[in-house]
Structure formats: C-alpha cells, structure tokens
Amino acid sequence: MADNQRPGEFELIERYFAPLAGPGGLGLLDDAGLLRPGRGYEVVVTADALVAGVHFFPDDPPAAIGWKALAVNLSDLAAKGAKPEGFVLTIALPRNWTEGWLKDFAAGLGRLAQQAGCPLIGGDTVSTSGPLTLSITAFGAVPAGRMVRRAGAKPGDVVLVSGSIGDGALGLKVHGPDKPGWVAALDDGQRGFLADRYLHPQPRTTLAEALQRHASAAMDISDGLVGDLAKMLKASRVGAEIDLDAVPLSGPARAALMADPALAELAWTGGDDYEILCTAPEGEYSSLIAAAAEHAVPLTPIGRIVSGAGAVRYSGKGAAQGFAHGSFSHF
C-alpha cells in the first residue's frame, strides 16, 4: 500500500486502537487517560520496551508481537500482587508498515488485554526510520501496603517458581532462523510447544492475590532464573541454596536436554520464561502452593533463603554447580 493510501494518525488510532480502550481511555480522544483506584488501594506501575531485532524477530507474527508486548508487563504486575487496571502504548512504526500488519498486531494485543481485564487507556503513535519499537506502561492496583517487593525474602523462607523453567530460552532457539542441531531431535509437538512459549508468554495474573497473602518476596523471571534470583537476593540482602534438580522442566524441555545436556545452563540462565520467582515463610508456602493450584498454576519449591547477602549455592546431580553466564543483559 502506498503511503498516501494509508490511514493518517487519527484514523489509525480510531480504527485499530480505540476498540481496545476501556472507559478510562475516554475514547482515545483526549490528551490523557483516567484511572480511578478504589479507596484503600495503591497504583503499581511498570514499563517495558521491545525493539525489533532485539526482543523479537522482525518477521515474527504481528499478533504474537502484540500479545508479548503486553504480556511482559502483566507478568511484572502479577509478581507484585497487583490486579491489572489499564495500559498505555507507544508504538514507533517503521516506514514500511502495512495495514494488514497493524490489524493483526492490534488483534493479538486486544486478545490478551481482554483476557487479563487490562484495557488500553492511551499512548502515542509515531513513525521512525529505525526498527519497529514498542513501549507499554501498565498500571495495576493493590491494597495499600500489600505490594510484594523483591526485598522481602528472609532466612528460612522457601524459594518457589511457577510453571516450568527454560521453555522461553529454548523456544527462541527453536523458533529462530539459525536452528541448532538438537532441534531436529524434537518432534513437531515439542518444537511447537517451545516456540509458542517464546512467542506467547503466559503472565501469571491469577497468582496476584495468592502472592499478596502468602509471599514474602516475588519478581517475574524475564532474564533467566539464575540472574533474576541474584537480583532478588541483592534486594533482600540474603543468600540462597538452590537444588537445580528440583527446578521444574516441561516435557519438551526435558527432551531438548536429553538431545543436548549442555542446554541445561541455557534453560536456567536464558530468560523469556515470564514465570514467577517467589519466597514464602515456612508456615505459608504450602498455602501459597494450594492457592496457586486453585488456578491450575503449579508452584514448585526449589530451595531455601539463607543468611549472607547475595551468596547463592547451586547443587545438582550430587555436586555443586556454577554458570559461565548469569543472565541475559542488554549491555
């Protein structure tokens, strides 16, 4: 489609983004959106930027890009125990964007927004000579004083993770253009599962209330279990002992590790899981597991918090374990 046949900025917003707006979006016709947190609630704010060629492949399905852009923010809100209230979107479109691409992007974004009860309330749309760039700021509500911080872990607390670990990092390899040899050892179902875990992360929004009630600390796993645990330990000024044999792996991830055992380090450090890493006191962790199970989300104990700021000991297969790389880093 030629540039002069594309919708202008206001028509583009009306056609593709206004249908995603909630009441606080004011029809996307005003200069700002409006949030009304309930009496006794506080607002939790998180933001993530995604850049083509860095956070996703430029030729990824546009619906998956839209889904993931919101999912990574909802994952942060879930880890803080916050209920999603709305989000703002800034999108910088490259010169070669098409209406078909934007329609599919908005559809994927809208599916997750509706599923999570997190409507669009505003944002900005611009063009760029650089790569496609997205930035979402999401807002959540939590009862005053109940946000679950990274800094609350105490010696004796149990360390837990939701779901399964490593699927996102392995899925990136399966989905990417330069597939390593071990990918051929997986069947179609296993490859499809891992790729989908990378393309469509599932934010654990249903765990928010359980984390409020029972967790002492929490964060989402975006840059890898090993690296994100280190961030939590630093914030809480504690250490940890972690049993890597207890870290939950999906069936497809186990199949990948059987094909290439060296992938274990990638699974633990590679990122893109968007699961919840949390701690809970001895008297609370079983209740936390039970509350998560009511939403069909498994929580698995993988270790304990100990004294000693930042010190962490990993063990697996009867021996101490170490890692060449702690986590994904942009810098």
331 is a domain residue = no
Residue 1: what pLDDT?
Answer: 38
pLDDT at 331: 41
Query: How does pLDDT run across 172-199, given as a tens digit for each residue?
Result: 999 998 899 999 999 999 999 999 999 9
Q: How confident is the model at residue 280 (pLDDT cuts 50, 70, 90)?
A: very high
Residues of the domain holding 132:
3-143
Q: Are residues 139 and 154 in the same domain?
A: no
Q: Which strands, in side-by-side order, build the sheet including 275-280?
A: 217-221, 275-280, 158-162, 299-306, 239-243, 312-316, 319-321
Residue 95, marked binder: no
Q: Is 245 annotated as a binding residue?
A: no
| Mean pLDDT (the chain, rounded) | 92
Q: Looking at the 3D structure of the chain, how many domains does it have?
A: 2
CATH of the domain at 113: 3.30.1330.10
Confirm whether residue 57 is marked as ligand binding.
no
Task: Please measure the distance between the N-terminal and C-terminal CA atoms of the chain and give it in whole angstroms.
Answer: 38
**pLDDT tens digit string along 229-264?**
999 999 999 999 999 999 999 999 999 999 999 999
Work out the pLDDT band at 4, boundaries 50, 70, 90.
low
pLDDT of residue 108 exceeding 70, the answer is yes
| Claim to verify: residue 170 and residue 305 sit in the same structural domain | yes
Which among 143, 178, 203 is the end of a domain? Answer: 143
Average pLDDT over residues 64-86: 97
128 annotated as ligand-binding: no
pLDDT at 327 over 60: no
Q: Does the annotation list 220 as a binding residue? A: yes
Would you say 46 is a known binding-site residue?
yes
Q: Which pLDDT score, from 0 to 100, does residue 324 have?
A: 67
pLDDT band at 23 (very low <50, low <70, confident <90, very high): confident
State the pairing for strand pair 239-243/312-316. Answer: parallel
48 is in an annotated binding site: yes
Q: Give percent of the chain above pLDDT 90.
A: 76
Q: Is residue 55 part of an annotated ligand binding site?
A: yes
pLDDT at residue 326 tops 70 = no
Note whether 208 and 269 are same-domain residues: yes
Where are the extended beta strands (E) located within the chain? 41-51, 83-94, 120-128, 133-143, 158-162, 217-221, 239-243, 275-280, 299-306, 312-316, 319-321
Q: Tell whether the model's pLDDT for residue 279 goes beyond 60.
A: yes
124 labelled as ligand-binding?
yes
pLDDT at 151: 96
pLDDT of amino acid 2: 41
- 287 domain-assigned: yes
Query: Does one domain contain both 79 and 165?
Result: no
Which of 121, 143, 165 marks a domain boundary?
143
> How far, in Å, CA of 129 to CA of 121, rounded?
27
